[in-house]
Amino acid sequence: MTSKQIKNPPSPLTAPLTPPMRMQRLMAMVGQYLELHFFTTRSMVLWPVLTLFILGSCWGLSDPEAILPGGINADTPFEVLFIASGFILLSATLGVVLVGFDGISRKRSSGALAIELSQTTHRQDYGLALLLGTWGVIAIPTLLLSCIGITLIFAQMGLWPSVAEISLYLLATSLVLLWYAAIQLLASSWAEDMGSAIAIGIGTWLVFTLMWVLVTVVIAGLLGVDVSDTSNDSYLQLTTLVDLFSPNGVYQMLLELQLQGDLGGRTVNSFQTWIAAFAWTVLPIWLYLRRLCRI
């Protein structure tokens, strides 16, 4: 009997996984994460907030008798969705931050992360499962409520958005939540404790959501652009460039691609917008997975 004949076959635990098997294991890990976190107290508190913001904005903004500030008129269903997207940025993105702030830091401080990373699962698969699970906890109810909100708009206006408009709205909303999930998990991987993780996450959210206008004004002032009139062409075109570096700005610009009227107030380059969306999808996830593999 030769040495080849008596050689032991590879163990199932050490044998390389085929791509279908690896995908099946990844989906199983995502399902386990959702099962553990979907009905936690943290998630149950966020659901009423999402319901109030998303359904309330769709119903109220589509009311024909509603008077919107700034002389804004929402005459089409998609214009209502575009304005309501601001409430997505105030609620759903913050929900992702609150769900994922301790995704890595808590396990790292307790030692559970070292145990999980020592398993046979590839670290990239583990990181993707954690990312998709964090994203899914907020994205699933957000997208579901958005679909209900579209029906409320139809009930008020008697019109449906087109298939292309609905598809773009749901895709853009899914992407912005994925971007925030990657950013928050990256922050959680760098933080030494949970307090630092939530401080970084909330700070990043505040910069992109509430303070980015100030960043744009400061840049405009340094470049000599008139900021006394934010409706002039020079300022509006500057905002399109500055917003490329903000997930919120790219999200809004994606939606502006489908606007038929002057609600957006600026000209958006579709090529630049999709390139920026691709970059925001790839770079934060790559940095997060790279960081996780080096822990």
Calpha distance 128→90 (Å, rounded): 25
Percentage of residues in the chain with pLDDT exceeding 90?
34
pLDDT of res. 29 = 80
pLDDT of res. 252 = 92
Counts for the chain of helices (H) and strands (E), in that order: 13, 0
- Specify whether the CB–CB gap between 74 and 83 falls below 8 A: yes
Lowest mean pLDDT among 15-24, 109-118, 172-181, 247-256: 109-118
Determine the distance from the C-alpha atom of residue 92 to the mean position of all C-alpha atoms in its chain, rounded to a whole number.
Answer: 8
Closest CA to 173 of 150, 151, 142, 202: 142
Closest CA to 150 of 126, 128, 166, 168: 166
Q: Does 10 reside within a domain?
A: no
Q: Does 2 reside within a domain?
A: no
Q: Does 11 reside within a domain?
A: no
The model carries a pTM of 0.87
The dihedral region occupied by 139, where left means phi > 0, alpha psi between -120 and 50, and beta the remainder, is alpha
Q: Name the average pLDDT for the chain.
A: 82
pLDDT of res. 116 = 60
Q: Does 15 reside within a domain?
A: no
pLDDT of res. 139 = 94
Is 185's pLDDT higher than 80? yes
Q: What is the pLDDT of residues 68-108, one digit of tens each?
A: 665 566 778 998 999 899 999 999 999 888 887 666 656 66
Calpha distance 237→265 (Å, rounded): 10
pLDDT of res. 266 = 75
Quickly state the pLDDT bin for 10 (edges 50, 70, 90).
very low
Calpha distance 270→276 (Å, rounded): 10
What is the average per-residue pLDDT within 10-15?
A: 42
Note down the domain range covering 218.
21-294
pLDDT of res. 124 = 81
Alpha-carbon separation of residue 228 from 38, 151, 220, 221 (angstroms): 46, 40, 11, 10
Q: Does 8 reside within a domain?
A: no
Q: Does 12 reside within a domain?
A: no
Domains held by the chain: number: 1
Q: Does 4 reside within a domain?
A: no
What is the average per-residue pLDDT within 209-224?
A: 86
Quickly state the pLDDT bin for 272 (edges 50, 70, 90).
very high
Q: What is the pLDDT of residues 42-53, one digit of tens each?
A: 888 889 999 999
- Specify whether the CB–CB gap between 101 and 205 falls below 8 A: no
- Specify whether the CB–CB gap between 159 and 82 falls below 8 A: no
Is 180's pLDDT higher than 70? yes
